[in-house]
Structure 1
């Protein structure tokens, strides 16, 4: 099994055209790409504070956090719950990758975080949703998931594991279009690469690329912020319920506001999680 960090070299605040071309190539070949040191560590630590506060609020109410297996949770949040939302969504590498892969009118549709706590187990290999017809017919990616770790990842924390190149795998025998049969597991294990991002790194991946969480045998949680972005018409916003207040919406720069697909409301209400993974039976190695 591979044990190498999946990253590509880019400057922190002005990725060169060549690095964006590399990112596109990696997304279409490997299914994942990344930018090292994109954000200041102090900024990431503030994100970690907001993630911790959002988790404590969400887990205290019904449907606030959805289980992704033993001691593993997903929470979707509103942009106003993250002080760094504008910095995240206007980062030059993030913007450039979105434009290059999804087009100039890309849509920001999801903000949330995954947290494997101590005791989290192996997930079964899966993709996050069924393959869209545009991808099947045209071999075109229509969405990206950007992941930002808020801790320095080490092996004991249960790093993310991905099988590069599997974003194109035929899903005719996948349960719910997402879960491959176990007779495919050896192939994924042979291809598997674990990622060890550090605070400040950000990655982009196709959520169709087969992946899984691994056991967290450390004493600390490993939260990862998730930003979901669509090509026009991809429709993933229907799986989410992101909203902003009118006051907050008015403060957003056009570079964010013009790409944001969400409700604009007078008062925010807590999100009841829609992003369940139907049929996902966790704890299987």
Structure 2
């Protein structure tokens, strides 16, 4: 399990350590600054490759089973689907969803309590197309009032993300613009749609209000991108949910229990229909 360490290395500097990777407090400040300014930051090499490999083996088995089950996957357009992950090993890992580096960044940009409300995978397959440029959330009030970071998506891929297999594409800074202004600047070439390539173990934190789209996967292999959704405690999230087995939930510390907005059941169902509703704004 990951550890958080605060060790003095200078007059006013500290280390924050995930088991595999050490970051300074100033680096976490920089990630938070990028997130506020650009709507995105990328933390390179946060997760160990062995962890990603374990997730990939488990995901491949899950995906194969879900493909055979009616309603096991939610469609997200041509050759693109979505799967909520079950709260079993290796996915139910607080070293991932309550990782001290990720939470160190979230704590710097969320100014109230926040909740984890989503653990899933977005999976473009061969034959997928460019999505329309969109947002995942509406602004809190209107496009004329800048919305603070009240929801964030944390993504990491189970495979290398290249130009060929459907990289995430986003326009930096559009999370603080009206949708119309952002689209005008994108179409005029003032703000590029930037593709984000990732190695296994890299982690992306992004604002779902930034204008973005999925791109085509031209390879024969699926490109599973894990998404963990965190929102301010007052935000209602009817389109996603977490279901945890009671024995697992009760084994967690009170701090981690407080992080999770979830339904607790005596036993997970063997098969559930994927109920994700695809919102795009």
Report the TM-score, using the length of structure 2 for normalisation: 0.84
Partner of 1:245: 245
**Superposed displacement of residue 78, structure 1:** 2.9
Partner of 2:215: 214
Residues 48-77 of structure 1: CA deviation (Å, up to 9, x unaligned): 122222222333333321111211111112
The count of aligned residue pairs is 263
Unpaired stretches in structure 2, ≥5 consecutive residues: 1-15
Partner of 1:156: 164
Find the aligned partners of 1:54 and 1:104 in 2 and give their Cα distance.
35
Find the aligned partners of 2:159 and 2:224 in 1 and give their Cα distance.
7
Structure number with the bigger relative contact order (C-alpha 8 A, sep ≥ 6) is: 1
**Superposed displacement of residue 89, structure 1:** 1.8
User: Counterparts of 1:1-285 in structure 2 under 5 Å?
Assistant: 13-80=21-88, 82-83=90-91, 85-103=93-111, 105-133=113-141, 137=145, 139-171=147-179, 186-187=187-188, 190-236=191-237, 238-269=238-269, 270-278=271-279
Residues 77-127 of structure 1: CA deviation (Å, up to 9, x unaligned): 232254452210232211111211124622110000001111211111111
Q: CA 1:16–1:68 in 2, change beyond 3 Å: closer, same or farther? A: same
SS in 2 for 1:258: helix
Note if contact 2:72-2:83 (Cα within 8 Å) is conserved in structure 1. yes
SS in 1 for 2:23: coil
Residues 134-160 of structure 1: CA deviation (Å, up to 9, x unaligned): 997463110110001110122111211
RMSD: 2.6
Q: CA 1:165–1:254 in 2, change beyond 3 Å: closer, same or farther? A: same
SS in 1 for 2:221: coil
Q: CA 1:217–1:207 in 2, change beyond 3 Å: closer, same or farther? A: same
SS in 2 for 1:80: coil
Find the aligned partners of 1:165 and 1:119 in 2 and give their Cα distance.
30
Note if contact 1:26-1:33 (Cα within 8 Å) is conserved in structure 2. yes
Find the aligned partners of 1:232 and 1:188 in 2 and give their Cα distance.
37
Note if contact 1:161-1:193 (Cα within 8 Å) is conserved in structure 2. yes
Find the aligned partners of 1:273 and 1:28 in 2 and give their Cα distance.
33
Residues 185-241 of structure 1: CA deviation (Å, up to 9, x unaligned): 5147841110111011111000111111111112222111000011121222x2212
Q: CA 1:85–1:132 in 2, change beyond 3 Å: closer, same or farther? A: farther
Find the aligned partners of 1:279 and 1:207 in 2 and give their Cα distance.
10
Unpaired stretches in structure 1, ≥5 consecutive residues: 1-9, 175-179, 281-285
Find the aligned partners of 1:18 and 1:279 in 2 and give their Cα distance.
35
Note if contact 2:137-2:280 (Cα within 8 Å) is conserved in structure 1. no
Find the aligned partners of 1:189 and 1:72 in 2 and give their Cα distance.
29
SS in 2 for 1:15: strand
Higher helix share: 1
Report the TM-score, using the length of structure 1 for normalisation: 0.83
Find the aligned partners of 1:134 and 1:43 in 2 and give their Cα distance.
41
Q: Work out which of the two has the higher radius of gyration on C-alpha atoms and give 1 or 2.
A: 2
Note if contact 2:171-2:186 (Cα within 8 Å) is conserved in structure 1. no
SS in 1 for 2:209: coil
